[in-house]
């Protein structure tokens, strides 16, 4: 299976592609899309850039980091739009898109949901044997998302959505105290 991880952003969108065979994974490719111009032009560049990458690497699945924090509402809105453009690129190529929070990604790659970007980058380089490869933090984050998806598939942890606290408590009575 070929998994494309995406770290969406309106200034830089990173992607990392891994090939998973048996119990091993290896890096196939990576890159950064640096859109220019007006915000709508940037969204189109993200869509087109990821569409090209998906086709080039023949990705089977797409894992994406879910934006959960921004310094101001306008930044969060732009980040959400960038994520939507990235999701549409994957969906229009027939891929399933799975989203992970930054905390989930960090925990899957480093074992610590509060790990720094540098710790994540170190583990990504180590797990994919990319110590001598020039990677930006955006590309490392994208690889980390792909590795998180791989890890979720490997351990078979289903992702459950909860419509509220009542739903959560019904599904997890042992966690309600």
**Domain with 42 in it:** 2-175
Name the percent of the chain lying above pLDDT 90: 69
Residue 67 has pLDDT above 90, yes or no: no
CATH number at residue 23: 3.30.420.10
Model confidence pLDDT, tens digit, residues 72-103: 888 889 999 999 999 999 999 999 999 999 99
Q: Give the total number of structural domains in the chain.
A: 1
Task: Give the pLDDT of residue 105.
Answer: 94
Q: Which residues of 69-105 are buried (b: 16+ CB within 10 A; e: fewer)?
A: eeeeeeeeebbebbbebbbbbbeebebebbbbebebb
- 7 catalytic? Reply is yes
**Confidence band for 156, pLDDT divided at 50, 70 and 90:** low
DSSP letter string over 86-117?
HHHHHHHTT-EEEEE-HHHHHHHHHS-TT--H
Name the catalytic one among 21, 56, 65, 141.
65
Model confidence pLDDT, tens digit, residues 37-54: 999 999 999 999 999 999
Name the catalytic one among 21, 56, 60, 138.
138
């Amino acid at each position: 299976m070929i998994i494309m991880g995406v770290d969406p952003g309106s200034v830089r969108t990173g992607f990392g592609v891994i090939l998973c065979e048996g119990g091993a994974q290896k890096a196939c490719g990576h890159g950064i899309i640096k859109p220019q111009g007006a915000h709508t032009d940037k969204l189109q560049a993200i869509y087109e850039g990821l569409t090209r990458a998906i086709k080039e690497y023949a990705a089977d699945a797409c894992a994406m980091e879910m934006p959960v924090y921004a310094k101001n509402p306008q930044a969060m809105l732009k980040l959400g739009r960038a994520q939507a453009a990235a999701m549409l690129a994957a969906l229009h190529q027939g891929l399933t898109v799975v989203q992970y929070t930054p905390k989930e990604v960090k925990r899957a790659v480093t074992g610590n949901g509060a790990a720094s970007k540098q710790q994540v980058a170190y583990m990504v380089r180590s797990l994919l044997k990319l110590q001598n490869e020039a990677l930006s933090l955006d590309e490392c984050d994208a690889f980390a998302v792909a590795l998180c998806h791989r890890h979720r598939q490997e351990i078979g942890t289903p992702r459950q959505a909860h419509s509220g606290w009542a739903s959560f408590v019904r599904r997890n009575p042992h966690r309600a105290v």
